[in-house]
């Protein structure tokens, strides 16, 4: 083996791991490099989720879950997380890279995120892409004990089970609560289309709140939205569209508009 490495045909990619391919390691090979470097370990967090098919949240490093007794030496590109709660059974290397379940990987990934909003978005993406059901992740969370962003994950799972499919919806929902309006329903079907949030105003009309991402800026989509909004207005439905940037950068204005809509409806209800 030493001769092959010295000749450049093989490559030492960790102190005890040799690659028989001297090209760039692909994602699965990077997982193998990490787990073979550790006396015992599983890929988890974003690394396991990416391996199991999650799109949109690529890991920058391989996240490795290990027991306290066998912490490996530092290795570039590998982030080691020590845990007393480990998967069962022990890793079986003959059946592919050892990775945690999607539910466990989601809880770990959320706990290892720096920002709550990113943590919520990741959890929603796992459910939206049908890698795990909210209740499966909830069971894993229940046995995890105290973990970072626990409350954020519980909220995201609860709303996901009710139909919310993006972190932007969570942001706008918080603004609705901040404005003092009643709790809205989510993913409500009106005139053949599902709407992000909907609630009843004091005068009996329905307020529909749409959280518009970049897709809604396409001219054809704007035209279709305008036609649908006109159809809703003809049925007495009030529509408020919140662009993707507004709920983050102009939250006060969104809250003020919500309160204004509620106040006008309350006044109309008194005048009847």
CA angle centred on 53, ends 63 and 248, rounded to 5°: 80
Quick check: 136 and 143 in contact, CB under 8 A? no
The structure tokens listed for 77 are 């590109």
Place of tokens 């995120």: 113
Which residues touch 148 (CB under 8 Å, ≥6 apart)?
A: 110, 111, 112, 113
Overall fold of domain 167-271: Endonuclease; Chain A (3.40.960)
- Reported as a single tens digit per residue, the pLDDT across 237-247 is 999 998 877 77
pLDDT band at 248 (very low <50, low <70, confident <90, very high): confident
For residue 41, what are the CA distances in angstroms to 55, 91, 222, 227, 263?
Answer: 24, 7, 50, 55, 58
pLDDT at 69 over 90: no
For the chain, residues classed under CATH 3.40.960.10 are: 167-271
- Reported as a single tens digit per residue, the pLDDT across 213-241 is 655 566 777 888 889 999 999 999 999 99
What's CA 32's distance to the chain center, in Å? Answer: 26
**From start to end of 15-172, where are the E strands?**
17-19, 42-43, 62-66, 78-82
- Reported as a single tens digit per residue, the pLDDT across 153-193 is 988 888 777 666 677 788 888 899 999 999 998 888 888 88
Least confident of 11-15, 19-23, 69-73, 94-98: 11-15
């Amino acid at each position: 083996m030493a001769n092959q490495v010295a000749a450049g045909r093989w490559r030492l990619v960790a102190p005890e791991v040799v690659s028989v391919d001297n090209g760039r390691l692909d994602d699965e090979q990077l997982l193998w490099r990490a787990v073979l470097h550790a006396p015992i370990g599983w890929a988890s967090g974003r690394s396991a989720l990416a391996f199991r098919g999650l799109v949109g949240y690529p890991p920058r490093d391989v996240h490795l879950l290990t027991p306290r007794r066998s912490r490996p030496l530092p290795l570039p590109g590998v982030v080691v997380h020590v845990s007393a709660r480990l998967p069962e059974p022990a890793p079986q290397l003959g059946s592919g890279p050892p990775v945690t379940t999607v539910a466990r990987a989601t809880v770990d990934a959320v706990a290892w995120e720096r920002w709550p909003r990113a943590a919520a978005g990741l959890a929603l993406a796992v459910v939206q892409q049908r890698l795990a059901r909210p209740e499966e992740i909830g069971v894993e969370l229940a046995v995890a004990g105290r973990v970072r962003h626990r409350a954020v994950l519980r909220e995201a799972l609860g709303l996901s089970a009710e139909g919310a499919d993006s972190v932007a919806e969570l942001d706008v929902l918080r603004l609705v609560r901040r404005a003092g309006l009643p709790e809205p329903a989510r993913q409500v079907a009106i005139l053949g289309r599902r709407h992000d949030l909907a609630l009843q105003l004091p005068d009996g009309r329905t307020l529909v709140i749409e959280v518009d991402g970049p897709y809604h800026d396409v001219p054809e989509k704007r035209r279709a939205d305008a036609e649908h909004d006109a159809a809703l207005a003809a049925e007495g439905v009030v529509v408020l569209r919140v662009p993707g940037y507004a709920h983050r950068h102009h939250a006060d204005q969104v809250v003020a508009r919500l309160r204004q809509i509620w106040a006008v409806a309350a006044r109309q209800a008194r005048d009847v």
